[in-house]
Structure 1
């Protein structure tokens, strides 16, 4: 799974306002076929970006949350559609959540994205 790196790509995903939310995680998603113009239309495969604000905690806490999110995204990426961009946004409560809880929420979110995108096609 590749990473979303540019601000432009993050904005494209967030602008569509398609999302799935759980207690500690919000997953914003964009299918590549939704994009008519721009560089994103030529991208193949899944890409993920992380958004962890200062509201989550200090730098050490934010980095720990990002590490957990990366591990879980890699583990459950097979649940996602083949060509999509995902932005994982951490709610402040994610800093206090245990790994098992985050794992269940991530799996649930990715399943929901899969269901929602499958129903559109």
Structure 2
């Protein structure tokens, strides 16, 4: 993930926490704040030490980043996202993490409708 797509500063995190909207499921909490002047989205990650050791925390962050990278074309731009991992996320594999985050994307309506494939249209 590019540097311009990351949220690193505490003041940026606090701004999203105070003024953004949040949605949660059992594994993740996602905070979102619109930034209309931005052309792309930015992502901040928070994984507590309560979740596990450094290896576990970094693994969760890698998986979340990968999901955002794969879904970047279908996510709305101009939004700051902060993802907070909860304890059950430490035992999940990639597909479970992706499924959980896609569930949150649908709940928050940040997932753009994907264009239908031509093959599925031409089934006559």
Q: What TM-score, normalized to structure 1?
A: 0.79
Structure 1: distance between partners of 2:78 and 2:19: 16
The Cα RMSD (Å) is: 1.9
Q: Which has the higher contact order (CA 8 A, sep 6+)?
A: 1
Radius of gyration: which is bigger? 2
Q: 1:24 aligns with which of 24, 27, 46?
A: 27
Contact 1:19 1:29 in 2 (8 A): yes
* TM-score, normalised with respect to structure 2: 0.78
What's the counterpart of residue 36 of structure 1? none
Q: 2: CA distance between counterparts of 1:57 and 1:50?
A: 15
Select the residue among 85, 102, 111 that pairs with 2:106.
111
Larger helix proportion, structure 1 or 2? Answer: 1
Unaligned stretches of 5+ residues in structure 2: 112-124
> Which 4+ runs in 1 deviate beyond 2 A?
77-80, 111-116
Question: How many equivalent pairs are there?
Answer: 108
Gapped regions of structure 1 (runs ≥ 5) = 34-41, 117-121
1:12 to 2, 10, 15: 15
